[in-house]
A and B are shown apart, each in its own frame.
Chain A
């Protein structure tokens, strides 16, 4: 009730503020909209990315901004709901008149929000992996920083087929949107490589036991299991079933396989052995046991934020690095374009080659909106998670 009464005054105040602000800020502040699913399902990635985004904004502002213009971050929580994401994208683009929009985090939200942002003509940094999120014709100002789903799948496929030299593949997807889509793409890509999975199944993400599916895979003669599911509960059960059966078959697949939560869901720590997932060169320890210098430097800067007491980092660090890079890409684009004119920004990003970021080195072109290079993606050994990073799988 009180909110209702207070609302008009609050609204009026904020409107007035907004008016003053737009007048004063037109040339001063660079407004960045950040569509983040800070709550709701799959919030862990968004929260980690948020740390990187916030750090980069604070750093740039402390250094005097970009070309003397300070950054203003407008964070909006979409709670993982596509309808909310579309609403908030409209709000950021038309009401708040931001210069850039980062996000949304989940591909499902992005499919709805990206066309809206494209219609508003606002430069959009895409951090969802689904192929359909970028298109140089339909969404000319949407530039992707993260890898595509195909890059994930091909990294895993390459490892299974070339490194392990195994081709009797059992493909396991879940019945969510992401799971079914990825299982389909993975099947297509394997068939393109001349391999037909010996066993394919889609499983309800809350199914309590996967012994059957694995028994069937074993009976079909599978020698590698490839799960494509972002549901940590399902992945945990899959690894448990494999361990309980005493079947030491390699598991190669989605990054969820190496999420920190998995470790806790396993019956025994050794069930995490022989598991490889598609990861990133930037968060992979080299032969000398060290991370790439840019990653290590960023890690020390954020350690106090994300690991209280300066201990080990308990989340996947590449999310932080990618969030940080999003803001850094904005900095690069504004500098290259000499301002925040959307068309000039598009031009500047289209002509970006080998921009060195922490997460990856990005290149976009007039016909390619996927900035993440194949080479920055590597297979990781899941149970080598230490301090947010992994060892390379050979």
Chain B
């Protein structure tokens, strides 16, 4: 039972980290990118490749994971977001990010192979550590640190305040002389680096596996929608709740109805409280 809870929290942490990456990109562009779940996937694959494949030290693997994520974030902004935002059609970004997500997953599958591959041990620790194993607490600690760090970043630093200004009202921010385009690019790179970092930290849990992306895109989004779009604490709560629910569902009922239960949760929350647990009601249709 306890191990189900810990494993659930760890999986939930990956969902939470994905939800945080969604938030960072959403704050500056009002776009929910389908590529978000692929950022951790890329981080995991890049880390495994650099450390296990090339035999380089772990910190280079970490850099590679974050760098790959950031690069892909930049690419997303450049290819799928920037040109599309210039048009007023609000659906196009869904199509362009979906296209990019499909492409990156297929490309990684062709290069890396379609079987999951191992992720190396990061900290020397015996495998008999049980629930204290790093594969559980690394992602949990990271997700909490990421949420805290983002909150600090938004409230304490100038750059963070610019993000907030843009998320409140991009036009007003622009009118105040904030270089909104550059801020948006920065936010995508930041989200990419954070997503890559999350994939790196969770690598031992998930293995380096090409098909991870779409699952995380969906589950990260459920965490986000449950917790409330735009809220970092909400993302954290939503992620952990979803992870626990998954684990308990599979503990009590077996793995057959895992998705059904998780998605059932999403639908219920959206019906009862469409803005999520901690989201703010922002109705601005015109």
Residues of A within 8 A of B (CB): 39-41, 43-44, 174-175, 201-204, 206-209, 211-212, 215, 232-233, 236, 240, 243-246, 261, 264-268
Contact = CB atoms under 8 A, between A and B. Distances in A.
A209 B254 CA distance: 13
A204 B250 contact: yes
Contacts of A175: 255-256, 258
Given A211-B130, A264-B117, 8 more contacts: A44-B115, A175-B255, A175-B258, A204-B255, A212-B4, A243-B127, A264-B118, A267-B121
21 contacts: A39-B110, A44-B115, A202-B254, A204-B250, A204-B258, A207-B250, A209-B205, A211-B3, A211-B7, A212-B247, A232-B116, A233-B115, A233-B116, A233-B207, A243-B127, A244-B130, A245-B130, A264-B117, A265-B118, A267-B121, A267-B127
B215 interface: yes
Contacts of A174: 255
Contact of A212 (B7, B118, B209): B7
Interface string B108-127: 00100011111001000001
B128 interface: yes
Chain B binding surface, main DSSP class: helix
Interface string B211-253: 0100100000000000000000000000000000001001100
Nearest to B215: A206
B116 A236 contact: yes
A201 B255 contact: yes
A374 B130 CA distance: 42
Contacts of A209: 3, 7, 10, 136, 205
A203 B254 CA distance: 7
Contacts of B205: 208-209
Contacts of A232: 115-116
B255 A233 contact: no
Contacts of A268: 127
Enumerate the 5 nearest inter-chain pairs by beta-carbon distance, A residue then B residue, closest first. Answer: A233-B116, A209-B7, A204-B255, A211-B3, A267-B127
Nearest to B139: A208
Nearest to A44: B115
A243 B126 CA distance: 11
Contacts, number: 76
A211 B135 CA distance: 13
Nearest to A266: B118
Nearest to A265: B118
Contact of A244 (B118, B133, B215): B133
Contacts of A212: 1, 3-4, 7, 247, 251
A44 B115 CA distance: 9
A127 to B, nearest CB: 20
B11 interface: yes
Nearest to B110: A39
Nearest to B114: A41
A174 to B, nearest CB: 8
B49 to A, nearest CB: 13
B18 interface: no
Contacts of B133: 244
Contacts of A41: 114
Contacts of B180: none
Interface string B127-148: 1111001001000000000000
Contact of B250 (A203, A215, A243): A203
B76 interface: no
A202 B3 CA distance: 18
Given A175-B256, A202-B255, A246 B117 contact: no
A212 B205 CA distance: 15
